């Protein structure tokens, strides 16, 4: 049985904050690393080892292309496997999407149709990754701006089936689910009710931007909205032991401002936390 050791509210580790975190050692339970940014450079790895001395880590990736049809990138997978062995992150996560086709990289997280064929293909690709890493990964729900007419099941049903088929965990991004509700009319409560919450190993909280015509865009470039906070509060009533991440990628604020949002999430967790942590995600592989 492999069980992660993360609890409470962490933040995403971003380059402008590296030196301050190494120097000041702020009281943060854990840090999530965009691991793609650290696989190539020696200096980055040295800094990451310094961070690892004081903080548990979670690895978050964007390059696996789990929803694609091109063969998995063996070179990238090998580097990821080496980094996992080297830094021993508590969790490893990726997005349920495709990012490249026929060797062309789109630099975006593109949604997939929820079909039985796609389910089989992605399950096989997740199995390949988990076999190489010798551990389960988490898959994250993404923000979407279209419906596929070919879809045969809902997003939540698809994610639940993938988790059951492969033993992978789920990274629940509440902001992405809220964006999908506002843009596409998807009932977020139904989405959450259909997810196997026992398999949720991490929660993401982030901010969005709004276009002039009312569309919400998952930019990770603003503070977390009040509706997303409200959804997180409701979720925490039953699942306070799931580790939560404050995710910010654009319009990056000061570390002090980021830690204020982290403290807000931690207060919510503390309000509902119980001695019973039976809902902490554990997976066997």
Q: pTM of this prediction?
A: 0.93
Query: What pLDDT, on the 0 to 100 scale, is given for residue 1?
Result: 31
When pLDDT is averaged across residues 76-91 and rounded to a whole number, the result is 95
With residue 50 as reference, give the H or E element that holds it.
Answer: helix 42-52
- The tens digit of pLDDT for each residue in 183-213 reads 999 999 999 999 999 999 999 999 999 998 8
**Cα angle value 78/65/126 (rounded, 5°):** 70
- The tokens describing 115, both together, are 């079909």
C-alpha distances in Å from residue 91, one per residue of 107, 135, 137: 23, 9, 7
Among residues 150, 165, 77, the alpha carbon closest in space to that of 119 is found at 165
Please report, for the chain, the start and end positions of each structural domain, with discontinuous segments joined by +: 2-283
Distance CA 72, CA 42 (A): 24
What architecture (CATH level 2) is domain 2-283?
Answer: Alpha-Beta Barrel (3.20)
Distance CA 144, CA 186 (A): 11
Phi, psi of 94 (to 5 degrees): -145, 170
Residue 97 has pLDDT above 50, yes or no: yes
Distance CA 186, CA 179 (A): 9
Residue 275 has pLDDT above 60, yes or no: no
When pLDDT is averaged across residues 110-136 and rounded to a whole number, the result is 95
């Amino acid at each position: 049985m492999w069980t992660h050791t993360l609890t409470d509210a962490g933040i995403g580790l971003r380059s402008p904050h590296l030196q301050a975190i190494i120097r000041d050692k702020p009281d943060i339970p854990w840090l999530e690393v965009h691991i793609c940014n650290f696989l190539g450079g020696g200096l980055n790895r040295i800094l990451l080892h310094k961070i690892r001395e004081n903080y548990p880590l979670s690895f978050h990736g964007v390059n696996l292309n789990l929803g694609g049809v091109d063969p998995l990138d063996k070179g990238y997978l090998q580097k990821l496997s080496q980094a996992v062995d080297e830094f021993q992150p508590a969790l490893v996560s990726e997005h349920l999407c495709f990012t490249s086709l026929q060797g062309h990289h789109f630099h975006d997280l593109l949604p997939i149709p929820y079909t039985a064929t796609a389910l089989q293909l992605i399950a096989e690709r997740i199995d390949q990754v988990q076999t190489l890493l010798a551990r389960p990964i988490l898959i994250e729900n993404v923000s979407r701006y279209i419906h596929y007419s070919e879809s045969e099941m809902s997003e939540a049903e698809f994610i639940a089936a993938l988790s059951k088929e492969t033993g992978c965990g789920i990274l629940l991004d509440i902001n992405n689910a809220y964006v999908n509700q506002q843009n596409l009319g998807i009932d977020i409560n139904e989405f959450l009710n259909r997810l196997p919450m026992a398999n949720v190993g991490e929660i993401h909280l982030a901010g969005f931007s709004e276009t002039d015509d009312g569309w919400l865009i998952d930019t990770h470039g603003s503070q977390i909205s009040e509706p997303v906070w409200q959804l997180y509060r409701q979720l925490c009533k039953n699942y306070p032991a799931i580790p939560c991440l404050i995710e910010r990628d654009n319009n990056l604020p000061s570390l002090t401002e980021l830690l204020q949002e982290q403290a807000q999430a931690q207060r919510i967790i503390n309000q509902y936390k119980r001695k019973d942590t039976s809902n902490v995600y554990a997976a066997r592989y």
